[in-house]
Amino acid sequence: MADQALDGAASRPLLSLRNVNMTFGGVKALKNVSFEVLPGEVHCLAGENGSGKSTLIKVITGVYRPEAGAVIDYDGQSYSHMSPVTAQAGGIQVIWQDLALFPEMTVAENIAFQTVIARWPRLVNYAEMRRVATNALQRLGVTLDVDLALHHFPIAQRQIVAIARALVGQAKLVFMDEPTASLTQSETDYLLDIVRNLSASGVAVVFVSHRLAEVLEISSRVTVLRDGALVGVYPTKGLTQSRITELMTGKTFGYSALHRDLGTSPVMLEVKGLSRPGEFQDVSLTVRRGETLGITGLLGAGRTELALTLFGMRKPKSGSVVLDGNPVRFGSNRDAIAAGVAYLSEDRLSLGLIQPQAIADNMVVASLDKILSRGFISSDRKRSLVNRWIRDLGVKIGKQDDAISTLSGGNQQRVAIAKWLATDPKLLILDAPTVGVDVGARAGIFDIVSKLADSGLAIILISDEVPEVYFNADRVLHMAQGRIVGEYAPCATTLQAIEEAVYA
């Protein structure tokens, strides 16, 4: 579409794709997509979950073979499809979100692991490994102790190691899949510097991220995908976060901020001066019955730590918590659940749900006492409870006994919400409830949240996506470095104002 001519005269594209189509089980994952990367540029691939970003990367790296008619031009050669071997030989490297590193091995071995991959066994040349690793790190402008096992390093430095490993493979084009997802702000800044260095040394970087602030900061151009189709390619200069959001979602946000009158509603939760050194300090907040309080802020701001403390899984150093008029001090999350606090974890895969187990079992695990009859689990009660929640929350399942992992992200999240509603909570804390949930299903989740608030539940909604809290919360707290630094009423503030404050 527009703006493709940018710098076009100056350099030929390193990579250029046209007419890429992919279909999975009758669903079109990519619809006639084209994509282009210039040598040495930082290019951003933006789109919501399920927009086709990772499918596109897998086509480029040869994991998937596109339908006939596709043209892939890379580094002066033309292909109808790539293979993992041609992609790697041509210098295309991907840094996956899970990094695929070896924690017990040294940094040098992780970076130079390519040198121990050989058809026939050879002696290991540790000196050569160290040299290769140090060189790669030097190119990034980083010094690490290459002889120390990787597990001694924090996640941000492991990310660096993964990048250094990609450089050893003579990379010309590096894809980074959500590299900042688990980094704190200062770590992210560090990483962005590295990306700039890479770009300056002539390596093209495709940055995949849903964090718009970073997108704007690092890239020169942005390609936006939506529902498997290309929306357009835009020079970053002149874009704003809200504009990218519009492009990604295709909505001009006809939503308006909430207008609920909660003036007389009784206070459900009152927190005063809550502190846990190193995590959060002096946090005070109140949530009324029927109110949704949004908490936003960057990763590492202490949001999840605060939530876990309210949920009784960590103990506060000082401060007080009053729930429904009673001062509370929880010894464990069991006390919190009994008192009426529920916490939906941000990590649905490994903490929120017990993935291999049945849907029904996951729904009742937190409220087993309710399905007991004379001390024994009543399968009739269990079935009727589960049926009720499946109906009320509109969960689409095959059988109750199917494993949770057979459900889509959105349906899994509904099951997780049902699990907590079954405990009859007074306060529901939702930590990043839309992570890994498709765009279409997110609205459904927030419909449920809104109905729950209307029924009198107090809700805390935590998210690092400002629009999510802006449109779904009555009040928004901004948390940074463990402190509450701002409070906004969406009906009296613009989205941009909050975004600017948060991403500043």
Partner 1 sequence: MRRFVRSHATELALLAVIAVICVFLSFATDRFFTLGNAFDLLNTSSVNIIFAVGLLVVLIAGGIDISFAVAASVVQYLTATVLGWVGGGNWIVGLIIAGALGVALGCINAFLIHGFRIISIVATISTFNIFFGLLMFFTGGVSIYNLPDWLTTRVVLFEREMADGTWAEITLPVLIMAICVFATWALITRTTTGRQLYAFGDNPEGARRFGINIGAMQFIAFGWLGMMAGIAGLVQGHYAQEVVPNALYGRELDVLAAAVLGGARLGGGKGSVLGCILGVLLVSITQNGLNLMGVSPFAFKMIVGAIILAAITLSNTSIERLLPFLKSRRVPS
Partner 2 sequence: MTVLIDRARNALGPELAGPLAAFAVVMVVFGIAAPNFLSRATFGSVAFQLPELGLLTLAMLLPILTGGLNLAITFTANMAGLTLAWVLQSQGGVDAGIGAFVLGSVLAVAVGALSGLIMGLVIAYTKAHPILVSLSMMIFLRGLGEFLTRGGDVSGIPGFLARIGYSSIFGIPVPLLIFIASVLIWHILLTRMKLGFNTYMIGSNIEATRYSGINTRKVQVLVYTLSGAMCAVAGIIMLARFNSVRVGHGESYLLITVLACFLGGVNPFGGFGRVIPVFVALVVLQLLSSGLNLMGANQHLATAVWGILMITVMILRWLAGRLKFLNTNRG
Under the rule (CB under 8 A), what is the footprint of partner 1? 100-105, 109, 113-114, 116-118, 121-124, 145, 147-149, 151-155, 158
Q: Which does 211 bind (CB under 5 to 8 A by kind): partner 2, partner 1, none?
A: none
Q: Which of 151, 152, 315, 334 touches partner 2 by CB under 8 A?
A: 334
Please say which residue, 334 or 451, places its beta carbon nearer to partner 2.
334
Question: Cα(331)–Cα(341) distance, rounded to whole angstroms?
Answer: 13
Contact segment (CB under 8 A) with partner 2 among 3-11, 187-195, 245-253, 368-376 equals 368-376
Residue 166, helix vs strand vs coil: helix
Question: Cα(423)–Cα(311) distance, rounded to whole angstroms?
Answer: 14
CB-CB contact of 102 with 113 (8 Å):
yes
Q: How many residues bind partner 2 (CB under 8 A)?
A: 29
Q: What tokens does 312 get? A: 């009784």
CB-CB contact of 324 with 277 (8 Å):
no
Task: Work out whether strand 204-208 and strand 27-37 pair parallel, antiparallel, or are unpaired.
Answer: unpaired
Q: Is 324 exposed, middle or buried (0-12, 13-18, 19+ CB in 10 A)?
A: middle
Cβ of residue 385: shortest distance to partner 2, in angstroms?
A: 14
384 lines the binding site for partner 2 (CB under 8 A): no
Please say which residue, 95 or 301, places its beta carbon nearer to partner 1.
95
Cβ of residue 168: shortest distance to partner 2, in angstroms?
A: 35
Q: Which does 351 bind (CB under 5 to 8 A by kind): partner 1, partner 2, none?
A: partner 2
CA 10 to chain centre: 36
Task: Identify the residue whose tokens are 């949004």.
Answer: 294
Q: Which of 355, 408, 450, 493 touches partner 2 by CB under 8 A?
A: 355
Cβ of residue 167: shortest distance to partner 1, in angstroms?
A: 16
Tell me how long the chain is.
504
Report DSSP letters for 350-404, one per residue.
IIIS-TTSBHHHHHHGGGGGGGEETTEE-HHHHHHHHHHHHHHHT---S-TTSBG
Cβ of residue 54: shortest distance to partner 1, in angstroms?
A: 15
Q: Which of 352, 409, 467, 490 touches partner 2 by CB under 8 A?
A: 352
Q: Which of 138, 318, 379, 455 touches partner 2 by CB under 8 A?
A: 379
CB-CB contact of 216 with 239 (8 Å):
yes
Cβ of residue 105: shortest distance to partner 1, in angstroms?
A: 6
Question: Cα(244)–Cα(226) distance, rounded to whole angstroms?
Answer: 11
Cβ of residue 455: shortest distance to partner 2, in angstroms?
A: 22
Q: What tokens does 71 get? A: 């043209």
Cβ of residue 336: shortest distance to partner 2, in angstroms?
A: 8
220 lines the binding site for partner 2 (CB under 8 A): no
In one-letter notation, the amino acid at residue 501 is: A
Under the rule (CB under 8 A), what is the footprint of partner 2?
313, 332-334, 336-337, 343, 345, 350-357, 361, 365-366, 368-369, 372, 375-377, 379, 401, 419, 423
